[in-house]
Amino acid sequence: MDVNIKERVAAFLAEHDPDGDRLEFLRARFDAGLAWVWYPEGLGGLGAPRELQSVVERELAGTPQLNAGVQAIGLGMAAPTILAFGTEEQKRRFLRPLWTGEELWCQLFSEPGAGSDLATLATRAVRDGDEWVVDGQKVWTSGAHHARWAILVARTDPDVPKHRGLTYFVCDMHAPGVEVRPLRQITGEAEFNEVFLTGVRLPDDLRLGEVGDGWRVAQTTLMNERVAIGGAPVGRGGGMVGVVLDAWRAQPELRTHDLHQRLLSLWVESEVTRLSGVRLREQLAAGHPGPEGSGMKLSFAKLNQELSGFEVEFARDLGYDDDWTFRRSEGVDFYGRGRGYRYLRAKGNSIEGGTSEILRNIISERVLGLPSEPRVDKDVPWKDLPR
């Protein structure tokens, strides 16, 4: 199969010039089944084993690539959820422009009163004939100011326990009643937003999954989100540790014995995390992501914060040239700009995509099999919960 994939890529490149129009090249790559090879034929894939994607990426290195900084939510969260729960019409409508970057996506999950306990969310969706009328507020929405579509979880039945009254939708971010406001971060950027939904009308054909089954659909999104953040492919010496190593090599006069010992320890931890990510992706090749992705996300956050802190301490005498003025972010970049930015941005790694506290609960209960915490609200109708 490896040889066949290489032959397919060679035949594709013989017909499509990578130096031509970027968008047309990406569209043609999707249509050839070389977007994500493990997806079904006709949906950007070949129905091939997932591990062959790395062969495609190697063969197509140097050709037009996706913009992960703005497409991450669509590629890592929306696409696998649409593939798992969407109708055939929804898959054909959304997956191609999602992959090519023609249509960007955001995630409307968290709310001011429902973050770590997402199932308590209060955004309502009320049926009105063949439409749903949505009212509520979402927060910490990355890239909403760029997005054409959003994945949305809303409450459709307040009379049942919190997990059972949710439904999952695709939300048109250009629909009347959708208002996006920037949230300024500690870095000065506003990559996050708060989104207000006021009488937003969504046709029922934008619903993903069954009415009331939104929590199960959302679990697919959340597990893929944690893998996307914590388990993304990184080469040896890449990511944040690569940035720190560059600084270490460039400033030998700042080195000390104690810093050297700490750096060695961080290098070992980085390698363990990287190799664990390789194992996780091999597991993914055999099926759907499980709770193990929470461990990768937890390790990613802890390591990024320790490495960025090390970099700041190592170069403490050099000062900072970061620009903290308010700006609208063009994408998510954990490693960009100066070391001050990296240090501050890493603080968000233990919050976004599931807080480290919640991830520890998931690992303890679903991986280690420890007893779950008492949940006194599990069988109480949502409308009766204190808020």
- Positions marked active-site: 225
For the chain, the straight-line distance linking the first and the last C-alpha, in angstroms and rounded, comes to 56
3-state secondary structure of 155: strand
Q: Are 76 and 223 in contact (CB under 8 A)?
A: no
Tokens 């250009």: give the residue. Answer: 174
DSSP codes joined into one string, 48-69: --GGGHHHHHHHTTTS----HH
Beta-bridge partners for 328? 190
CA neighbours within 13 Å on the CB side: how many for 117?
10
DSSP codes joined into one string, 298-351: HHHHHHHHHHHHHHHHHTGGG------S-EE-SS--SS-S-HHHHHHHGGGGGT
How far is Cα of residue 292 from the mean position of the Cα atoms in its chain?
A: 16
How many angstroms separate the CA atoms of 379 and 164, rounded?
10
How many angstroms separate the CA atoms of 172 and 184, rounded?
24
Amino acid 77 reads M
In 28-123, which ranges are E strands?
105-108
Q: Are 150 and 81 in contact (CB under 8 A)?
A: no
192 dihedral zone (left: phi>0; alpha: psi -120 to 50; beta):
beta
- Buried residues in 138-176 as b, exposed as e (16+ CB within 10 A): bbbbbbbbbbbbbbbbbbbbeebbbbbbbbbbbbbbeee
